[in-house]
Amino acid sequence: MNVVAARHVGASAGTWVLSLVMLGAGTSPAMAQDDDPEVWTITASAGLALTNGNSDTSTVNVAYDLVVDPGASNVVKTDGLFLRGVTEGELSSNRLSLNARDEYHFNGRLFAFGQTQYLRDEFKDIEYLIAPTGGLGYDVVDTEATKLGIDASIGGVWEKSPDDVMTSSGAVTFGQRLTQQLTETTTVTQQVKGLWKTKDFEDALLTLGASIAASISARTQLKVEVLDTYKNKPRLATTTKHDVVVLMAIVYKM
């Protein structure tokens, strides 16, 4: 079970934050039957932040993460995140990202994968961006305390703006993820995802994330996460390249 609260940064002393807590589910009994070898891990989260003071802001976020790992060579992963914010009565953020990935692990640390990435971001002038790609990955370090993996893929990307301008290109992606167990109760995670268009390598979309989680009890953690979505070449010159969000979460392990 996963609980997320989004927090507005830099509000005045009069700021108050109301967190909406939602439930994340683990494996259902139907999925855990002996005649079904698949192992499903599901988490869902939602958060609401309200600020009051020098500015009035409300932010809603909804996320999910699903992993299907039957314990064999094939692993399926999918995740999504929705963010919507209103400041002084005006919409200030509206973004939806979805990812789906199928990995086939060979003997050792090498694996092949196919994936599809989807992004809709009103404030980056993206009505939709779809990028199906396939490639190889490698688990550089895979120990109980440290896990470091990298991957790269090639494919295509289609991007459409709200004024019906649609572009297509070849695509190259790169990913890196590090998980480090600092102590028995504290874990740090860092990841980078990048997508470059082959028609214009300056037109890159990067997602950078970092989080730290500390155990509160045997089954719960307090987690703080920072996510930065960066588009190097937005369609409009007035568009901000960086979008940074800070999420605070209480994670319950089932």
User: Residue 234 above 80 pLDDT?
Assistant: yes
Q: List the structure tokens of 112.
A: 């092949």
Among 146, 58, 149, which Cα is nearest to 101's? 149
* pLDDT number for residue 244: 81
**Which domains, from first to last, does the chain contain?**
2-252 (2.40.160.40)
For residues 79 and 40, the model is more confident at 79
Buried b (16+ CB within 10 A) or exposed e, 169-194: bebbbebbbbbeeeeeeebebebbbb
User: Residue 92 above 50 pLDDT?
Assistant: yes
What mean pLDDT is reported for the chain? 79
For residues 194 and 89, the model is more confident at 194
User: Residue 54 above 70 pLDDT?
Assistant: no
Among 83, 4, 17, 46, which Cα is nearest to 243's? 83
Ordered alpha helix ranges (H), the chain: none
| Whether 80 contacts 43, CB under 8 Å | no
Share of the chain above pLDDT 90, in %: 43
- Per-residue pLDDT, averaged over 140-147, amounts to 94
Query: Considering Cα of 245, then 47, then 102, then 120, what sign does the dihedral take?
Result: negative
Give the integer Cα–Cα distance in Å for 101 and 80.
Answer: 12
Give the integer Cα–Cα distance in Å for 116 and 171.
Answer: 12
> Beta 126-142 vs 110-121: how paired, if at all?
antiparallel
Q: Confidence band (pLDDT; 50, 70, 90) for 254?
A: low
Give the integer Cα–Cα distance in Å for 224 and 3.
Answer: 11
Share of the chain above pLDDT 70, in %: 78
229 burial via Cβ count (<10 Å: 0-12, 13-18, 19+): buried
* pLDDT number for residue 233: 87
Give the integer Cα–Cα distance in Å for 122 and 132.
Answer: 21
Q: Which of 10-14, 141-145, 180-184 has the lowest mean pLDDT?
A: 10-14
Type and span of the H or E element at 122: none
Give pLDDT tens digits for 103-138: 999 987 999 999 999 999 988 889 999 999 999 999
- Per-residue pLDDT, averaged over 235-251, amounts to 76
Give the integer Cα–Cα distance in Å for 126 and 121.
Answer: 5
Give the integer Cα–Cα distance in Å for 114 and 134.
Answer: 4
Give the integer Cα–Cα distance in Å for 45 and 24.
Answer: 6
Contacts of 104 (CB under 8 A, 6+ apart): 73, 74, 111, 112, 113
For residues 238 and 78, the model is more confident at 78
